Structure 1
Amino acid sequence: MTAFSLEPAQLTWRGELRALAAERLRPLADKGEPGHVNRALVAELGALGLLSRLFTSGALDLCLMRESLAHACTEAETALALQGLGAHPLHAHGTETQRARWLPGVAAGTTVAAFALSEPDAGSDAAALTLTATPSAGAVATPPGPVAPDADPDGGSGWRLTGEKCWISNAPEADFYTVFARTTPGAGARGVTAFLVPADRPGLSGSPLDMLSPHPIGALAFDAVPVTADDVLGEPDRGFRVAMDTLNLFRPSVGAFAVGMAQAALDATVAHTTSRDAFGGKLRDLQTVAHQVAEMSLRTEAARLMVYAAATAYDEGAPDVPRRAAMAKLLATETAQYVVDRAVQLHGARALRRGHLLEHLYREVRAPRVYEGASEVQRGIIARELYRTHDTTTEEAGT
């Protein structure tokens, strides 16, 4: 089964992607400015057909793309992933009009998308969002459901978004944002609506954040930003489902990104310990070194298999996708941190020099343990799903 043994065509494609990343994407990435959207790189991803593939293939295909690109060019991997993350809600839940307006540009790499969920005080607890969508003048509400927009005589309709978003990748340089806002106060996860918000909407502003990771991350401020029913993705008050559907797809692929980095660090370590002279022989001849390399390989392969299994479960519509996705992201990101750290240790001081592959990976590998749900959140999801299954089984057995 594909979760444990890739088909020959998939293995070939993975190799081709690694070559493309090294030969065509790496040079463009090197010309980019840290902290800013590299539009030339995004456009090349579109020209290669990789961005359009985000919307025509499944989770396993996405994982293979992210793992392969990450092996040779983490910037290209991240640019591809952010296009997918920002536009997947539109692709899966948008109207025909919305998709026709925005998706062609996303696929071509000429339109930059962003996923705006996190807030200064609501990161991992997405149900605690406070960005508020208040009805515009003339809007009406039908208790106890969400506020329903209705045009007023002066032309006002829909909602006004007020509040902040923070830690948003591609902000403030994206062309549109998938924004999650509270439409029903006090309703928790059931009172959130997803909106497609173009970057040029009046009242929307942003600022970049100086982060450890080189890709762009920023904060957004919403000062009564107008949105209407035509901007809703999915249904009012059901935006949390849109967010979770997106995260269930992308969490395993975050694991794939991590596996790609781990594999790159492992490959570099095998080459280094083979060529490095130490204590009258090669570094790899030392048992303590060889055993560390073996452990790095073991953990990387275990993480890869779990990522593939989670992606295959998503593609097959399995009921335990949230648990599998959480396990895959957790194991793979923690593994990548371990493998890159061990690689740095075995390379010594040279790996700490600015511009070295491992210095770059060391900066890149830390963030995936935090974004799209920190490791602690993933453990919470796993435990919750385990106990839910236990309780359901117990009830059905009548015990």
Structure 2
Amino acid sequence: MGDRTFLSWPFFDDRHRELADSIEKWAGDNLNGIDHENVDEACRALVKELGAAKFLHHTAIDPENAASRLDVRSLCVIRETLARHDGLADFAFAMQGLGTGALSLFGSEAHKQTWLHRTRAGEAISAFALSEPQSGSDVANIELSAILDADGYVLNGEKTWISNGGIADVYTVFARTGEGAGAKGISAFVVPAGAKGLVIAERLETIAPHPLARLVFENCRVPASALIGAPGQGFRIAMSVLDVFRSTVAAAALGFARRALDESIARANGRHLFGAPMADLQMVQGHIADMALDIDAAALLVYRAAWLKDSGAERVSREAAMAKLHATDHAQNVIDKAVQIHGGDGVRKGNIVERLYREIRALRIYEGASDVQKIIIARHELARG
């Protein structure tokens, strides 16, 4: 079990500590032996199991409760714990939240009633379709079009690097509707996977296997009621969703880093070099100290951002960007040190730190690359002047 002393920090209420205990026990009982070779089936199974255990209730608002809201600290606690146990379990949980975030925050009553009961129960898988081949970080430059006619909207174009692409039951799709230039002309739509004209054009493989795909929309028709929010509101919707879930990416990185530190401590205490425990070597002690420092600093940034959002802040773009940038970049450093401490075993396929080494890299890219986070932080700082 990883370090849990952070749960005594004032960022948390008793319900968060109880949730941490609950997800820790569930993960320990259910996340041994996940099949990472068949990620589609593994993710489907994980979504069902997380739904049955009611942890997916945290990923979307309760459509029957008007006062329901997303609690970012709960999302972060769950993601950190799942990531520490198994990266694919974290992925399955996280994408349910990201995929339905727009429906929770801006969806119509019909959207919520149609989809949120199912995604919260693990009966439907969701996806967030924002990135395009020419506009990954530059969201305002998306080209997929949605043209309104008498029968609804017709979508044409591509999306790529879509998590859960190919296995999702519903996609939140961002398209250009033309109310204005750049960010002002984008709208959001809910598109069922079975919509005619939605094609899974390519499945994408990465160094850490996850369900990913390139989607093509060929005269894909959706009713006018598929619009989420108002026309031209899509950029605001996307940024609002990322404002909630970006901190949770940092929490997942924190979970990966904590596991790397735990494995390194066990390795250092259990292995002997030059007639003494590896832990007696000052260089190893230096690595362990650096890892612990990076982890605590990341945790402070992660849970500050989550607490601030839960406390009623309309936007936490600066704080979430700081959390994601620091947590993901420094988790990479922590895991690299863990590989070094493990020596040859650290790069052996199947070793936990080898898997962590592959898992962490994508977190520095998706939901806003590290370089983009620096731009966000800098713009906020410069605006203060």
- Per the shorter chain, which TM-score range? over 0.9
The equivalent residue for 2:25 is 19
Matched, 1:133 2:128: no
1:64: Cα distance to partner?
0.6
Do residues 383 (structure 1) and 374 (structure 2) align?
Answer: no
| 2:301 equivalent to 1:296 | no
How many Å separate the matches in 1 of 2:103 and 2:13?
A: 31
Aligned to 1:353: 348
Is the contact between residue 35 and residue 42 of structure 2 (CA under 8 Å) also seen in structure 1? no
User: Percent identity over the alignment?
Assistant: 44
Aligned to 1:342: 337
CA contact (8 A) 2:19 2:74 kept: no
Q: What's the TM-score once normalised by structure 1's chain length?
A: 0.89
- TM, length-normalised to structure 2: 0.92
3-state DSSP class of the match of 1:38? helix
SS in structure 2 of the partner of residue 365 of structure 1: helix
Structure 1: tracts of 5 or more residues without a match: 137-150, 152-156, 391-399
Per-residue deviation, 1:54 = 1.9
CA offset at residue 291 of structure 1? Answer: 1.0
Q: CA deviation at 1:30?
A: 2.7
Q: 2:366 aligns with which of 365, 371, 392?
A: 371
Q: How does 1:274-289 map to 2 (within 5 A)?
A: 274-289=269-284
Residue in 1 that maps onto 2:189:
195
1:244 Cα shift? 0.4
- The aligned amino acid for 1:168 is I
Distance 1:322 1:60, change over 3 A: same
CA 1:36–1:241 in 2, change beyond 3 Å: closer, same or farther? farther
Shift, 1:320, TM fit: 5.7
Q: Does 1:255 align with 2:260?
A: no
Q: Secondary structure at the match of 2:31?
A: helix
Which structure has the greater CA radius of gyration? 1
Letter in 2 for 1:333: T
Distance 1:54 1:24 in 2: 19
* 1:146 counterpart residue number: none
- What's the RMSD between the two structures over aligned residues? 1.8
**How much does 1:125 deviate?**
0.5
Closer, same or farther in 2 for the Cα pair 1:8/1:47, shift >3 Å?
same
Residue by residue over 1:341-388, the C-alpha shift from the partner in whole angstroms, topping out at 9 and shown as x without a partner, is 100000111121111111111110000000000000000000111112
Cα-to-partner distance string for 1:147-198 (whole Å, 9 max, x where unaligned)? xxxx3xxxxx122110000000000221110000000076100100000001
- The whole-number CA distance in structure 2 between the counterparts of 1:2 and 1:20 is 21
The change in CA–CA distance for 1:289 and 1:323 in structure 2 (over 3 A counts) is same
> Residue 260 of structure 2 is aligned with which of 252, 255, 265?
265
Residue 377 and residue 11 in structure 1: after superposition, are their counterparts in 2 closer, same or farther (change >3 A)?
Answer: same
Contact 1:4–1:308 (8 Å) recurs in 2: no
Distance in 1, matches of 2:384 and 2:236, equals: 20
Equivalences for residues 302-313 of structure 1 within 5 A: 302-313=297-308
Letter paired with 2:160: C
Q: 1:293 to 1:269 in 2, by over 3 A?
A: same
AA aligned opposite 1:313 = L
Residues 114 and 174 in structure 1, CA contact (< 8 A), matched pair in contact too: yes
Matches within 5 A, 1:91-130: 91-130=104-143
- For 2:358 and 2:113, how far apart are their aligned partners in 1? 38
Matched, 1:330 2:336: no
The question of whether the paired residues in 1 share the 8 Å contact of 2:36 and 2:88 is answered with no
